[in-house]
Structure 1
Amino acid sequence: MTAKQFTSVWLREPRKPTSPGRSREEIVRATLDLLDAEGLAGLSMRKLGAKLKAGATSLYWYVANKDELLELAYDAIWGELSTPVPEDAHWREVASVLAHSMRQVILRHPWSADLIGRVPAFGPNALAFTERMCRAFKTAGFRGLDIDYANATLTAYVFGYTIPEVAWNSSVGHDYDLDEMRESVKRAAEGHLELMERLGAADHDEDPQVMREVGFDFGLVSVLDGLERRLGT
């Protein structure tokens, strides 16, 4: 049985524009606009061609298929990340900025949550981001494979916290009665004493979005504490 061949838009040289004003960058910008407005389900070569006032078939000069288009768009959003120079600040500060920035990028482009783990992160922006994270952990004192493990740990935390948040925003959003939802949760939790205690201790005047920010920072600090502890072992 022949093994499946790995392909990526980043493994070949970009083709030159076929007409004045048309470029891969222009196509990517239009793709991002469509994705941000309509999500993955709303993206098609036909819609993109209409947005660019070009035939859908002409787009195949630049990309072989829709998957390659998504690769380009996925890498473009990582260019929005704040990436401090690791040698100019403490490694924990660098890691914290990178983690918060990664979360905000995913929240701004919720469609990207469905591409994590599915689309190769081989583009220049994704590679630059990963390289800077690795430098931060190397500067901290991690060596060998521990640099990669620390990198993967931080990334997994950001993804694990943010992807469910995106799913919640997409399915429920902010158009719900918060007090009614809290009462529903209380009814569902009846009989579970520990949960009822936690619900009673919650500050119901607190903005849920603020609570998410605080919760993310709590977990992030805990992850960084754990990584820092490993440096002393």
Structure 2
Amino acid sequence: MPRDTLTREQIVRAAIELLDAEGLEGLNMRSLGKRLDSAATAVYWHVKNKDNLVILASNEVWNEVGLPDLDTVDWRTAATTMATDLYRMVTAHPWLVMAFASQPLYGENKARHDDHSLAVFEKAGFVGAEADQAAAAVFTFVLGHSIGLSATVSVNRRLTNAGRNAQETIREAMTQATEIAMRFPHLRERVDSFAAGDYGAAPEHSFEFGLQAILDGIEHRLGARSLPLPDRDDRTDRTDRAGAEDLDSVHR
């Protein structure tokens, strides 16, 4: 495809497809040009370099995360929906977690998501830095929960590209991990309760459990900060009364 008919949108979409298939390590201008049926040099007319392309690709996939209408749903429903959508998006594009660890990622679509996330927690009752902290707690949980899948995809790809049987290699590693785990009582109990080969796998519904636990904690903090503190005079009166009662009990 000649450079004058090639568009940035086509390049970004092809880059996402290549990243999904080959990961960050498989993205290069030559492979991208081949996928676009174009010379690699033509791609450089639209993007600066690989890092710039990853930024553009990552910004595009943020469009896949829904932004609930805060006029029609409560904050907790909105937070759950956004986190679940984000988890689905990140696991559909495992390279994104690795990209976060390797370079700054930004763009209008990501900013729109982040802005809406802040609005969710401001609706809950947080203000200023507290809203940022609540949003960050949920975001980092989702990203952290996605690391395992992203790592598995990356390991499978690396082993396959090296000409090794990925499934067999992982199975051998898990066998050794299980043997080590059997030396420890709590891990041994867990191994015994899982089917063969399942040790190391997260229990079912772990994402949902963790997300709701975090939101429970956030909601608890909201409840705790909304409780009025007694004024100083009232606290002093209660302390004096308690002291008098203790003294009276001694005399009795």
Instruction: Tell me if both proteins adopt one fold, taking TM over 0.5 as the criterion.
Output: yes
Report the CA distance shift for 1:112/1:186 in structure 2 as closer, same or farther (over 3 A).
closer
What is the aligned partner in structure 1 of residue 46 from structure 2?
62
Shift of 1:86: 2.5
| Among candidates 182, 186, 193, match of residue 194 of structure 1 | 186
Distance 1:213 1:125 in 2: 32
Shift of 1:24: 0.9
- For structure 2, the 5+ residue unaligned runs are 158-165, 226-252
- For structure 1, the 5+ residue unaligned runs are 1-16
Counterparts of 1:107-146 in structure 2, within 5 Å, are 107-146=91-130
Distance 1:161 1:84 in 2: 22
C-alpha RMSD of the superposition: 3.0
Distance 1:54 1:109 in 2: 24
Q: How many residues align?
A: 215
Counterpart of 1:105 in structure 2: which amino acid?
A: M
Distance 1:129 1:65 in 2: 25
What is the aligned partner in structure 2 of residue 165 from structure 1?
149
Counterpart of 1:43 in structure 2: which amino acid?
A: L
Report the CA distance shift for 1:49/1:189 in structure 2 as closer, same or farther (over 3 A).
closer
Report the CA distance shift for 1:196/1:73 in structure 2 as closer, same or farther (over 3 A).
same
- Scaled by the length of structure 1, what TM-score is found? 0.80
What is the aligned partner in structure 2 of residue 5 from structure 1?
none
CA contact (8 A) 2:97 2:147 kept: yes
Which protein shows a greater Rg? Answer: 2
| Among candidates 90, 95, 109, match of residue 74 of structure 2 | 90
Shift of 1:214: 0.6
Counterpart of 1:142 in structure 2: which amino acid?
A: F
Report the CA distance shift for 1:43/1:172 in structure 2 as closer, same or farther (over 3 A).
closer
- Scaled by the length of structure 2, what TM-score is found? 0.74
**Higher percent of residues as helix:** 2
142-151 vs 122-131, greater mean Cα deviation: 122-131
What is the aligned partner in structure 2 of residue 225 from structure 1?
216
Report the CA distance shift for 1:52/1:138 in structure 2 as closer, same or farther (over 3 A).
same
Percent of paired sites with the same residue: 36
What is the aligned partner in structure 2 of residue 3 from structure 1?
none
Distance 1:112 1:63 in 2: 19
What is the aligned partner in structure 1 of residue 4 from structure 2?
19
Distance 1:211 1:189 in 2: 15
CA contact (8 A) 1:85 1:132 kept: no
Shift of 1:96: 1.1
Shift of 1:71: 0.6
Shift of 1:183: 6.4
What is the aligned partner in structure 1 of residue 36 from structure 2?
52
